[in-house]
């Protein structure tokens, strides 16, 4: 049921021409996704999604729309080619899922490979009962450091893109 | 073939295709970014669905529980969510910069302006 709501808000966010409404729908979509993560046992992902997806992304979107414009112009040409491309790709992907293990199957390859090792040893080795936290901060600490680098680079990029323009405009005026 | 057994994957694929359509068919740059973030969340949905175990609980070790969902997909997606917001922020900043330089954010108008500049 939640999945259907998620799909509906996702389609509506793309369908609408008013970008402000689209951004709000994307926020609702993220919040529904967060609820879905709780249902699927991913609580850590759920509160990251609720804070970052529903909060920060919506704020960024609204800020960008405020700086540009809120109305999308009507289409010039009929989008048959992209529609056909999306439908064919989707059909092929669905064909690919037929061989996948059933949803929630405890014997699926993803469940029997290395995941049991972490579930059994994470608490003894790191002292953290939350396995997600222990893998993120301890076993894969270097990856998380890399992630921080990515976020830092992105922040630098935004500052350079927006700050550089302001400086150029100032030199134009003088 | 079990229909309900693959429903999560199919919804993920449908969302990915909505995102793909928005990126390819829509001319407005912010709409393209909305499509991109839909595509990203569809991948998250696919991964979290793979990690779910029937009858399992959240992977926090506690007494009284023996079946846990796969924590590794959760870790991957946590990283991916943060990276997706970083890419979205850079994309939006680029859009704002393009709007200030060209005065529009529809890709066909930008292309027309570029062509006019080349001819001059």
Q: Does A62 touch chain B (CB under 8 A)?
A: no
pLDDT above 70 covers what percent of chain B?
95
* Residues 6 or more apart whose Cβ sits within 8 Å of residue B27: A72, A73, A75, A76, B106, B107, B108
Residues within 8 A of B (CB atoms), A 68-107 only? 68-69, 72-73, 75-76, 79, 81-83, 85-87, 89-90, 93-94, 97-98, 100, 102-106
Q: Which residues pair with B106 in a beta bridge?
A: B28
Enumerate the domain spans of chain B: 4-119
Q: Write down the pLDDT at residue A165.
A: 57
ipTM confidence score: 0.82
Most confident among A40-44, A56-60, A117-121, B48-52 (mean pLDDT): A56-60
Number of Cβ within a 10 Å radius of residue A169 = 10
Is the CB of B24 less than 8 angstroms away from the CB of A94?
no
Quote the CA–CA distance of B27 and B31 in Å, as a whole number. Answer: 8
| CATH class of residue range B4-119 | mainly alpha
Better-scored residue on pLDDT, B96 or B65: B96
B8–chain A nearest CA distance, Å? 7
Give the residue on B whose Cα is nearest the Cα of A135: B75
Better-scored residue on pLDDT, A76 or A61: A61
Condensed to tens digits (0 to 9), the pLDDT of residues B38-78 reads 899 889 988 888 888 777 777 777 776 777 778 888 888 88
Give the residue on A whose Cα is nearest the Cα of B7: A103
B118–chain A nearest CA distance, Å? 23
Residue B85 has pLDDT above 60, yes or no: yes
Average per-residue pLDDT for chain A: 79
DSSP symbol at A117: H
pLDDT (mean) for A94-110: 77
Burial classification of residue A52, based on how many CB atoms lie within 10 Å of its CB (0-12 exposed, 13-18 middle, 19 or more buried): middle
Condensed to tens digits (0 to 9), the pLDDT of residues A116-173 reads 777 777 777 777 777 777 777 778 878 888 888 988 999 888 888 887 656 555 555 5
* Residues 6 or more apart whose Cβ sits within 8 Å of residue B71: A115, A118, A119, A122, A131, A132, A135, B51, B59
Chain B residues near residue A76 by CB distance under 8 angstroms: 27, 108
Enumerate the domain spans of chain A: 1-70, 112-174
């Amino acid at each position: 049921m939640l999945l259907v709501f998620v799909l509906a808000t996702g389609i509506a966010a793309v369908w609408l021409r008013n970008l402000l409404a689209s951004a709000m729908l994307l926020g609702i979509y993220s919040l529904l996704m967060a609820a879905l993560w709780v249902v699927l046992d991913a609580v850590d992902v759920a509160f990251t999604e609720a804070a970052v997806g529903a909060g920060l992304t919506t704020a960024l979107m609204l800020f960008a729309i405020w700086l540009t414009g809120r109305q999308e112009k009507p289409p010039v040409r009929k989008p048959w080619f992209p529609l056909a491309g999306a439908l064919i790709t989707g059909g092929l992907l669905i064909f690919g899922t037929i061989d996948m293990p059933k949803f929630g199957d405890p014997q699926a390859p993803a469940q029997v490979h290395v995941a049991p090792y972490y579930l059994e040893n994470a608490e003894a080795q790191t002292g953290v009962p939350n396995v997600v936290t222990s893998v993120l901060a301890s076993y894969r600490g270097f990856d998380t450091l890399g992630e921080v680098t990515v976020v830092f680079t992105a922040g630098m990029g935004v500052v350079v893109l927006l700050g550089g323009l302001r400086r150029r405009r100032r030199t134009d005026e003088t | 073939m079990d229909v309900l057994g693959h429903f999560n994957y199919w919804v993920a694929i449908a969302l990915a295709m909505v995102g793909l359509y928005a990126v390819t068919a829509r001319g407005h740059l912010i709409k393209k970014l909305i499509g991109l973030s839909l595509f990203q969340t569809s991948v998250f949905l696919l991964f979290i669905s793979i990690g779910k175990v029937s009858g399992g609980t959240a992977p926090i070790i506690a007494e009284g529980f023996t079946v846990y969902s796969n924590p590794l997909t959760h870790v991957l997606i946590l990283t991916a969510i943060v990276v997706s917001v970083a890419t979205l922020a850079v994309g939006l900043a680029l859009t704002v910069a393009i709007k200030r330089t060209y005065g529009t954010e529809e890709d066909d108008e930008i292309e027309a302006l570029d062509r006019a500049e080349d001819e001059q």
